[in-house]
Amino acid sequence: MNSSITIIIPLYNNEKHVSTCVETLKNQTDQNFEVVFIDDGSPDQTFENLEHCLKSDIKFSYKIIRQENKGAAKARKKGIENTSSEYIMIYDCDDVISEDYISEFYRIIGSNKEVDIIIPNAKMQNEKMEFVDFKFYSDDVYLSGEDCLLNSLNGWNVHTWFICKKDIFIKSYIDYEIFNIGNINYHNNDEVIGRINFINANKIIRNNAIYYYSYNPISATKSVNSLKYLMIRNAFIMDELFSNKLELQLRVKSELISTIWWILIYMNRNKSYIKNLPEWKREIRDSISKINYMKMIRILELKEKIKLTILKLIPIF
């Protein structure tokens, strides 16, 4: 079966979620898709449970790739490199998609051959385990890449749980790796790639499918991660990538200051759990020293001006 779309699913310690993930895929009303599962060196029973779930009643095509633990960013890229489909969807194992997700994709490309990105509706699960609607910056069906990028900076008013052309993904990785040679895992590389996808896209369309983002308090994005401070480096990369556009300067520089500020707060709240605290402090000190205060203060709005001033004044021992 030749499909136009491949779903990339990175897996790491997902033994409790793979069965629901596979059931969600089996429940798609249109089974014309490929799945690439990438087990990123899981030490638990993720791989064994996945194999068991795929033994019967599977109508979609799939492949399983196993690699040593290299992080989700490299797992996603590995998956993209191992498919020939025109479109790619990145899907986290503990999330859910509506049953019409794939059929809605084919409906859109059936009448819009040149579409680069298809953005579904989204619902986000909160701590009370309730799903609430994701609030988009616009109700328009047709969106511009630059507007999407602008509204993803310093606050997410558009999401990156989308379907995107493979060649856009590949171009975005090339653009990104100019600044991050070797594609080192800075913890949120996928968010940066998603934003570059926006700027590389010519035609973006919203559709009626739904991506359900599940609240998982022990997931990699919510647990204390010793390398989370590296998000600061991606904030600097985005500053280099996007600050040449005047209309993006305020947002991207606000994102930079807010990221440093958030990492400082996060570090102070989780000191007892962070074993490499000197690395965190050094990264924060170095990032603050890189910022030209007088130049930056003229651009920022009041909230970020206060954050930057405090960052410049407080000692980070």
> What ranges do the domains of the chain cover?
5-213, 228-313
Vertex 136: Cα angle to 167 and 89 (nearest 5): 30
For position 187, what pLDDT does the model report? 87
CA 58 to CA 47: how far, in whole Å? 17
Q: Quick one: residue 201, left, alpha or beta (phi over 0 = left, psi -120 to 50 = alpha)?
A: beta
Note the pLDDT of residue 246: 86
Spatial separation of the C-alpha atoms in residues 25 and 295, rounded to whole Å = 51
pLDDT for 218: 58
**pLDDT, position 220:** 47
Instruction: For residue range 221-251, list pLDDT tens digits in order.
Output: 557 889 999 999 999 999 999 988 888 999 9
Regions in the chain scoring below 50 on pLDDT: 220
Q: Strand (E) positions, 78-147? A: 87-90, 96-97, 117-125, 131-133, 142-143
DSSP label at residue 190: H
- pLDDT attached to residue 317: 76
CATH architecture of 5-213: Alpha-Beta Complex (3.90)
**pLDDT single digits (tens) 147-198:** 999 999 999 999 999 999 999 999 999 999 999 988 888 989 999 999 999 9
pLDDT at 222: 53
pTM: 0.93
Of residues 170, 18, 10, 161, the one with CA closest to residue 74: 10
Task: Tell me the C-alpha distance between 45 and 74, whole Å.
Answer: 21
Whole-number Å distance between alpha carbons of 77 and 183: 10
